[in-house]
Amino acid sequence: MVKPYPSSKPGFLRQALARTEWLRGYLLLSPTFLILLAAMAAPIVVLIGMSLWTQSGMEFDKTLTTANYENFFSKRLYPLILMRSLKISAVVALTTILLAYPAAYFIAFKVKKHKMLWLTLITLPFWTSYLLRVFSWKLILGYNGVINSGLKFLGVIEQPLEFLLYNVTAVVITLAHAWAAFAILPIYVSLEKIDRSLMDASHDLGEGPVMTFFRVTLPLSMPGVIAATLLVFIPTVGDYVTPKLVGGNTGIMIGNLIQSAFGRGADWPMGAAISVVSMLAVTLAVCVFLAGTRGVRKVLA
Amino acid sequence: MRISGRYARRQEGAGVTVAVDTAASDRMAIDMESGITPSKWQRRKTRFGFLGSYTVIYLGFIYLPVLLIPLFSLNDALYVAFPIRDFTLDWYREMFAHENMLAALKNSVKVGLSAAFISTVLGLLAAKAFTRYRIPGAAGLIGFLSIPLVIPLIILGIALLIVLSRSGIELSLFTITLGHVVYCLPFAMFILMSRLEGFDKSVEEASLDLGENAWMTFWRITFPITLPGIIASLLLTFTISFDEFLLAFFLAGDELTLPIYIWSQLRFPKKLPSVLALGTMILTATFIMVTAAELIRRRGTGISSPGIR
């Protein structure tokens, strides 16, 4: 099947392929790369392009203008909701990591047998429908929901508690639950990588368990904490389902604004502009965060 | 198997084993062997204690909302509230009477199967390229291919929506599949990369040296060894696509998938119990599939099939 000394064009190609390893690598990679180029990168470029158009009636006015961006920053509502979304996601990332860290620590250091069983058990629910997981928080926190009806049944309260649902706290709780796996796994992996003899050394040198944690374990697990922060923070900024179901009026996030620009409001260029500003804001926040953590680590080191 | 590359030094005479390794499993074996814990640090670890109790409570926090769905799907009353007076299976019967639901289920399976197949094939190609060839700029390319993991899905959804509508492509199950392939790709790629990194390159080289061509080597060596990873990838990407709502919400035409159907039903309190029944079925199916994927993925790495280190 293989021609030993090909002189034709495909033969030449085959020879080149056999000689250069990276060329074969690129060739193998190309279908995947091209699909993502066409179905992810190009659409985002088009999105940026469209944000410079304007909507006039049912048509697009294709003259390039920054009108949508001026509109974004001249109204108080848009920046307000964008800032709120960033704040909510930051709090969510922090809460999720604070809740997940001890559990990841337990599995990494205290569990000896069946580590994988614990990990699978703790991450299993996150493969199930996001929609249903968020919705069940609405059932739990609702006016006639599980908590209120349960407390009423037990005689603890007379009237249902109204502050449970439709506010920022409900959004934070729901998201901290929905994204837990994205915090546990990276933190667990970074804890598992830590060389145990370093902790022994710290102990032998007379540090207590608390100081050992803060001076050895925590700094060494920072890569996992940083990865977890990004994996929770970035996607939750654009979440649409959670604020819609449990956020009420005070819990509206930027994703809801984007959706409404593409739904009933039907101002696609404006929606594109909101998306672009959000992406830039998220990128900026991430850069500030990474620079900040780098600074802190330098101070500690 | 795992001990190679890590050291466990035994001090003879004293009969004390000192562990200098990093893997917990190795240390465990040594602990049991000598009956003496290697250090004070490690002795403290044997207690379940505060952290263990916390983790159990945390597990409760994670499972409680998920388990409420099956519980209330059996509730006789229309509203999700305590006390539950009676149990019934009526909601399950009612659920199957909805033709729209059955159509949406069929669509979700179609989209899920296609997205799983395409993203696994593309993920396998990428994983093989990254693990088998030294590619200039590999780190950057891996970064590019994992963007779908960190980009807010709503932005990916509207960006695709804009391009599709500008190029006059009508929204359909096909466009949902396209969105899901993009989203599933990094998952497939990382599962398969971890699988391919684990096996010995020299087996493939031996096959090539013995005169098999690249295609036969793939079918007779690479494919069987990668198979558990491929199955795990298929199961997980199917699950992701089957449950994905936001992309489908923007990219759906007239034909709906199951999450969109559920979303449309959530507005009607009367439909709620049968949605919960449907949710229970989905939860059960997902649990089974993910557990199967995990078992296959792990069993594959545990067995010393040829070429696996």
A interface mutation test: which of B61, B119, B155 has the most A CBs within 10 A? B155
Residue B176: CB partners within 8 Å, gap ≥ 6?
B111, B247, B248, B251, B252, B257
| Nearest partner of B185 among B239, B231, B123, B247, judged by Cα | B123
pLDDT at B6 over 80: no
| Distance, CA of A70 to CA of A200 (rounded, Å) | 59
CB–CB of A110 and B42 under 8 A? no
Query: Which residue from A121, A132, A258 is facing B59, i.e. has the nearest CB?
Result: A121
Partner residues linked to B11 by β-bridges: B16
CB–CB of B156 and A245 under 8 A? no
Which residues of B are less than 8 Å from A238 in CB distance?
Answer: 152-155
CB–CB of B155 and A238 under 8 A? yes
Count how many pairs of residues, chain A against chain B, have C-beta atoms within 8 Å. Answer: 263
Task: Answer whether A203 touches B (CB < 8 Å).
Answer: yes
CB–CB of B150 and A234 under 8 A? yes
CB–CB of B250 and A262 under 8 A? yes
Distance from CA of A296 to the nearest CA of B (A): 24
Task: Answer whether A270 touches B (CB < 8 Å).
Answer: no
Stronger pLDDT, A44 or B208, i.e. the higher one: A44
CB–CB of B147 and A36 under 8 A? yes
Please give the pLDDT value at position B304.
35
- Band of the pLDDT at B20, cuts 50, 70, 90? very low
Please give the pLDDT value at position A265.
63
| Distance, CA of A105 to CA of A194 (rounded, Å) | 11
pLDDT at A49 over 70: yes
Which residues of A are less than 8 Å from B9 in CB distance?
Answer: none
Which residues of B are less than 8 Å from A131 in CB distance?
Answer: 243, 245, 259, 262-263
A140, closest residue in chain B (CA to CA) = B65
> What tokens does A167 get?
């506010």
| Nearest partner of A218 among A200, A199, A241, judged by Cα | A199
- Band of the pLDDT at A209, cuts 50, 70, 90? confident
Rounded to an integer, the average pLDDT of A25-34 is 90
A197, closest residue in chain B (CA to CA) = B20
Task: Answer whether A136 touches B (CB < 8 Å).
Answer: yes
Q: Name the 3-class secondary structure at B171.
A: coil
B155, closest residue in chain A (CA to CA) = A275
pLDDT at B200 over 80: no
Q: Name the 3-class secondary structure at B56.
A: helix
Stronger pLDDT, B214 or B173, i.e. the higher one: B173
Q: Above pLDDT 70, what percent of chain B?
A: 79
Q: Evaluate whether A157 touches A151 at the Cβ level (below 8 Å).
A: yes
Among the residue ranges A102-111, B63-72, B78-87, the one predicted with the least confidence is: B78-87
For B132-140, the CB contacts below 8 A with 24+ separation are B132/A25, B132/A28, B132/B196, B132/B201, B132/B204, B133/A21, B133/A22, B133/A24, B133/A25, B133/A28, B134/A21, B134/A22, B134/A25, B135/A22, B135/A25, B135/A26, B135/A29, B136/A22
Please give the pLDDT value at position A22.
79
> What tokens does A160 get?
């249902």
At B199, phi and psi to the nearest 5? -115, 155
CB–CB of A140 and B65 under 8 A? yes
| Distance, CA of B139 to CA of B9 (rounded, Å) | 37
B289, closest residue in chain A (CA to CA) = A127
Q: Evaluate whether B181 touches A38 at the Cβ level (below 8 Å).
A: no
Please give the pLDDT value at position A10.
60
| Distance, CA of B107 to CA of B258 (rounded, Å) | 8
Query: Which residue from B134, B182, B283 is facing A36, i.e. has the nearest CB?
Result: B182
Residue type, B133: Y
> What tokens does B165 get?
């509508």
Place of tokens 């089957």: B242
Task: Answer whether A13 touches B (CB < 8 Å).
Answer: no
pLDDT averaged over every residue in chain B:
79
CB–CB of B62 and A26 under 8 A? no
Q: Evaluate whether B173 touches B255 at the Cβ level (below 8 Å).
A: yes
Query: Which residue from A28, A122, A180 is facing B128, i.e. has the nearest CB?
Result: A28
B284, closest residue in chain A (CA to CA) = A128
- Band of the pLDDT at A280, cuts 50, 70, 90? very high
Stronger pLDDT, A216 or A79, i.e. the higher one: A79
Query: Which residue from A120, A245, A262 is facing B161, i.e. has the nearest CB?
Result: A262
- Band of the pLDDT at B33, cuts 50, 70, 90? very low
Among the residue ranges A131-145, A206-220, B43-57, the one predicted with the least confidence is: B43-57
pLDDT averaged over every residue in chain A:
86
- Band of the pLDDT at B300, cuts 50, 70, 90? low
Place of tokens 């198979």: B227
CB–CB of A231 and B279 under 8 A? no
Pairing of strands B16-19, A54-56: unpaired
| Distance, CA of B130 to CA of B126 (rounded, Å) | 6
Q: Above pLDDT 70, what percent of chain A?
A: 93
Q: What is the pLDDT of residues B94-122, one digit of tens each?
A: 777 888 888 999 999 999 999 999 999 99
Please give the pLDDT value at position B19.
36
Rounded to an integer, the average pLDDT of A256-263 is 88
A195, closest residue in chain B (CA to CA) = B22
Task: Answer whether A198 touches B (CB < 8 Å).
Answer: no
Residue A194: CB partners within 8 Å, gap ≥ 6?
A216, A217, A220, A221, B22
Please give the pLDDT value at position B299.
67
Which residues of B are less than 8 Å from A210 in CB distance?
Answer: none
Please give the pLDDT value at position A9.
55
Element (H, E) at B65: helix B49-73
- Band of the pLDDT at B276, cuts 50, 70, 90? confident
Task: Answer whether A128 touches B (CB < 8 Å).
Answer: yes
Stronger pLDDT, B47 or B132, i.e. the higher one: B132
Which residues of B are less than 8 Å from A196 in CB distance?
Answer: 19, 21-22, 24, 27, 41-42
Task: Answer whether A187 touches B (CB < 8 Å).
Answer: no
E strand intervals along chain B = 8-11, 16-19
Q: Evaluate whether B300 touches B228 at the Cβ level (below 8 Å).
A: yes
Handedness of CA B111, B112, B113, B115 (dihedral sign): positive
pLDDT at B25 over 70: no
Residue A171: CB partners within 8 Å, gap ≥ 6?
A88, A92, A242, A243, A246, A247, A251, A253
Which residues of B are less than 8 Å from A241 in CB distance?
Answer: 245-246
DSSP A138-200: HHHHSTTSHHHHHHHHHTS-SS--SSSSSSHHHHHHHHHHHTHHHHHHHHHHHHHHS-HHHHH
| Nearest partner of A28 among B135, B204, B221, B188, judged by Cα | B135
Please give the pLDDT value at position A227.
92
Q: What is the pLDDT of residues A210-249, one digit of tens each?
A: 888 888 889 899 999 999 999 999 989 988 899 999 988 8
Query: Which residue from B132, B158, B185 is facing A271, i.e. has the nearest CB?
Result: B158
CB–CB of A127 and B129 under 8 A? no
CB–CB of B81 and A135 under 8 A? no
A interface mutation test: which of B42, B55, B180 has the most A CBs within 10 A? B55
Q: What is this model's ipTM?
A: 0.84
Rounded to an integer, the average pLDDT of A189-199 is 88
Distance from CA of A147 to the nearest CA of B (A): 8
Q: What is the pLDDT of residues B133-185, one digit of tens each?
A: 888 888 999 999 989 988 889 999 999 999 998 898 999 999 999 999 999 99
pLDDT at A7 over 60: no
CB–CB of A197 and B20 under 8 A? yes
Please give the pLDDT value at position B286.
84
